[in-house]
Structure 1
Amino acid sequence: MRLYFENPVGRLLEHPDGYALVQYAAGARDLPTFQAFLTHTRQLLHRHQWHKMLADQRHMAPYTDEERAWIHEFWLASSASDGYELFGAIVIPADVFARLSLNLVMNDTQQSALTYRLFDEEAEAVEWLKQLP
């Protein structure tokens, strides 16, 4: 795997099987750094014309209200408006509050172009991605 981008939010890798591997780091985040991280994720997907990502959120802190709003209003909305279909395999956070914030974000994806599944283990997430076109 090749490292594409890294900042305090996490690491973004190019997986040789044709998907973005998004590894969230532990700890608090600031909104501009979070926005940069997801913007680079979108750029990586578009650059390779990939429609799949694996988001490893096991160590992630809960989303803030500002992060949730930005994901909904910018990241998901722009994908939906340009017709960019995206599949996300998400390895769920260990922290119960992070899981709750993830559920709030996932509720917002109902009107987006994102199809996702939640997994306890990375291996299960990878298997699901392999089944997709």
Structure 2
Amino acid sequence: MIPAATPKLYFENPVGRVLEHPDGYVIFRYNPGKRKLSELQAVLAHTRNLLARNRWNRLLGDQRLMAPFTDEESAWIVDYWLDSSRQGPNGLYGAVLLAHDVFARLSNAQVMHEAKASALTYRVFDTEEAAVAWLKQLPRF
């Protein structure tokens, strides 16, 4: 039996952890609790840097423990993180594990609705196994 590949920690702060998976994708796991905007900006900037450094276009976003976005966070995510001009030339694919908190789910849905011109193609999954299976079948650029 072949052992499962182990992700390597790339960055961590109170908002969450960014992991580099040897199969060619980034894992971003939110921590529970309130966030400072500057800490959210930092962890998402490191996520983008890791994607760019490796020329990857795949991301597993684990929002299961995430608290709802504030209005300020939502606006920044739409204007910066999901802005299509900031994505790679082939866009970004995201497998999302939705938050357990219903209000966090609603705030994420609102952000995605507002980001109409996003170069992010994403799907929502109930299990990490299903999310990883989807990511692995996508083309790598």
TM class, shorter-length:
over 0.9
AA matched with 2:93: F
Q: Which residue does the alignment assign to 1:94?
A: 100
- Paired residue for 2:71? 65
Q: CA RMSD in A?
A: 1.0
Cα distance per residue 1:56-89 (max 9 Å; x no partner): 0000000111111001111111xx1155210000
Larger mean CA deviation between 36-45 and 109-118 belongs to: 109-118
Please identify the structure whose Cα radius of gyration is greater: 2
Once the two structures are TM-superposed, the CA of residue 92 in structure 1 deviates from its matched residue by: 0.4
Equivalent residues of 2:28, 2:59 under 8 A apart: yes
Equivalent AA in structure 2 for residue 20 of structure 1? V
Could you list the per-position Cα deviations for residues 6-52 of structure 1 after superposition, in whole angstroms to 9, with x for gaps in the alignment? 00000000001100000100000010011001000000000000000
Structure 1, unaligned runs of 5 or more:
none
SS where residue 111 of structure 1 aligns? coil
Cα drift, residue 103 of structure 1: 0.5
CA distance 1:8–1:112, shift in 2 (3 Å): same
Q: Aligned residue for 1:111?
A: 117
Q: Secondary structure at the match of 2:23?
A: coil
Match of 1:4 in 2: 10
1:81 aligns to what?
A: 85
SS, match of residue 35 in structure 2: coil
Compute the TM-score of the two structures, normalised by the length of structure 1. Answer: 0.95
2:80, 2:86 within 8 Å by CA — same for their partners in 1? no
Cα offset, 1:105, TM superposition? 1.3
* TM norm structure 2: 0.90
Deviation at 1:109, TM superposition (A): 3.0
For these two proteins, the number of residue pairs brought into alignment is: 131
Aligned-pair CA distance for 1:106: 1.4
The ranges of structure 1 where at least 4 consecutive aligned residues each deviate by more than 2 angstroms after the TM superposition are none
User: CA separation in 2, counterparts of 1:82 and 1:73?
Assistant: 10
Distance in 2 of aligned mates of 1:75 and 1:60: 17
Q: Which residue of 2 aligns with 1:128?
A: 134
Unaligned runs of 5+ in 2: 1-6
Task: Give the letter aligned to residue 21 of structure 1.
Answer: I
- Report what 2:42 is aligned to: 36
